[in-house]
Amino acid sequence: MSFRKIDDEKDIQMSSISDNLQKIKDSLPENITLVAVSKTKPVKDLLEAYNAGQRIFGENKVQEMTKKWEQLPKDIQWHMIGHVQTNKVKYMAPFVSLVQGVESLKLLKEINKQAAKNDRIIPCLLQIHIAKEETKFGFDTEEVTTILETDTFKSLQNIKVVGLMGMATFTQDKNQIEKEFQQIKTFFDTLKLKQETQNLKLEILSIGMSGDYKIAIKNGSTMVRVGSAIFGERNY
């Protein structure tokens, strides 16, 4: 009897991933890309989302993402959304489809080097520090402006900066979150006015997570990264 009960609970949990996914997809405007953030979740959960039509997944650890890439269908697009150590770049370079959250020129150079080895051009987003918390990673806006003008950046032919990514402060204060999203949107629009180069073409503004994606969409998001609202709370 007790086995039976566990099975039933599993079934209930499994069907809810596709339900959650469908609800979120229905609520998103058509031009918004949904990244299903599957960090810490088992392959079977990703497969359920996959079977419900989801093809873009976000992970924050290179090793975990690589393992899942090996096990899952090859038409999945993998986004690295976390902080990446330079010595790990080589493992994801063969397959990663977007590196969100690049926050140093050093990392950009390493991605470029490993992309070249794989004969690829790897799309990247620069992470902008918009939150009040010091702990969150990212560039200051002035740093980005400076870096994009350096010869070093211009010489990186195997990366392409296609947008910006930001994380708002973890707070219930909607006005604060909105202010932070407006700040990155304004910067995004300003940067877009600059001349495009071979490795710079801003199209993606990746803002919004489970708790704040609706606010992000109101403030110019083109890509949302949603985890717990699809897969449930994470147990670390």
| Residue 210 in the binding site for ligand PLP (CB under 6 A) | yes
| Residue 81 in the binding site for ligand PLP (CB under 6 A) | yes
| Residue 228 in the binding site for ligand PLP (CB under 6 A) | yes
| Residue 22 in the binding site for ligand PLP (CB under 6 A) | no
Tell me the helices (H) and strands (E) count for the chain, helix number first.
Answer: 10, 8
| Residue 37 in the binding site for ligand PLP (CB under 6 A) | yes
Shortest Å, Cβ 9 to ligand PLP? 22
Q: Cα–Cα distance between 8 and 128 in angstroms, integer?
A: 44
Task: For residue 74, give every residue at least 6 positions away whose Cβ sits within 8 Å of its Cβ, in sequence order, or none.
Answer: none
| Residue 92 in the binding site for ligand PLP (CB under 6 A) | no
| Residue 232 in the binding site for ligand PLP (CB under 6 A) | no
| Residue 171 in the binding site for ligand PLP (CB under 6 A) | no
* Residue linked to tokens 């799309």: 123
What ranges in the chain are assigned the alpha helix state H? Answer: 2-27, 43-51, 62-71, 89-92, 105-117, 141-148, 151-154, 174-192, 213-218, 228-231
Q: Where does this chain touch ligand PLP (CB under 6 A) — which range of 25-33, 107-115, 147-155, 209-217? A: 209-217
Give the footprint of ligand PLP on this chain (CB under 6 A). 37, 39, 60, 81-82, 167, 209-211, 225-229
